[in-house]
């Protein structure tokens, strides 16, 4: 198939495919007429890249999965290098989750403090004025 057909089937653009080609993730095969040609294996490569990017993997992190597929494995995560990327990504996600938990706790504490202060000021006192500068 030609580049436009592959882009349509993969749900992406020809510009993206050319970029992947320039990064060495997509093979650069040419027909005798000079057109780029692709097959179902290339579509599988693109689907693997897109799935991983949907999970938050950057383009370079997809390389071991692509290379695994190119080596003839039925799945991009059947190789040790791909498994290492999964492990590294899980570590990153665990760290982000911990950071978010910390921020969540801090925001919760600030909310509780602000609610207590607001409740203490209401009985008998003037209503707080909120002014926007501008």
Report the sign of the C-alpha dihedral through residues 76, 80, 86, 89, in that order.
Answer: negative
Compute CA 51 distance to the chain's CA centroid, rounded to the nearest angstrom.
Answer: 9
Report the C-alpha gap between 134 and 3 in whole angstroms.
53
The average confidence (pLDDT) of the chain is: 90
- Top pLDDT among 19 and 118 is at 19
The helix/strand/coil state of 18 is helix
Confidence of residue 129 (pLDDT cuts 50, 70, 90): low
Q: Is 56 left (phi over 0), alpha (psi -120 to 50) or beta?
A: left
pLDDT at position 83, please?
Answer: 97
Q: Let me know if 98 is exposed, middle or buried by CB neighbors in 10 A (0-12, 13-18, 19+).
A: exposed
pTM given for the model: 0.75
> pLDDT digits over 79-96, tens only?
999 999 999 999 999 999
CB 17 within 8 A of CB 6: yes
3 state SS of 64:
helix
Distance from C-alpha of 38 to C-alpha of 35, rounded to nearest angstrom: 10
How would residue 121 be classed by pLDDT, with cut points 50, 70 and 90? confident
DSSP state of 58: -
Confidence of residue 72 (pLDDT cuts 50, 70, 90): very high
């Amino acid at each position: 198939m030609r580049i436009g057909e592959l882009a349509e089937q993969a749900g992406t653009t020809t510009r993206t495919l050319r970029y992947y080609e320039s990064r060495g993730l997509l093979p650069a095969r040419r027909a005798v007429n000079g057109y780029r040609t692709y097959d179902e294996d290339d579509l599988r490569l693109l689907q693997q890249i897109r799935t991983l990017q949907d999970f938050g993997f950057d383009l370079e992190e997809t390389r071991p999965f692509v290379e695994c597929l190119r080596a003839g494995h039925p799945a991009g995560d059947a190789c040790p290098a791909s498994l290492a990327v999964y492990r590294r990504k899980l570590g990153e996600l665990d760290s982000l989750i911990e950071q978010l938990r910390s921020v969540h706790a801090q925001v919760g504490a600030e909310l509780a403090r602000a609610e207590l202060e607001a409740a203490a000021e209401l009985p008998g006192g003037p209503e707080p004025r909120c002014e926007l500068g501008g």
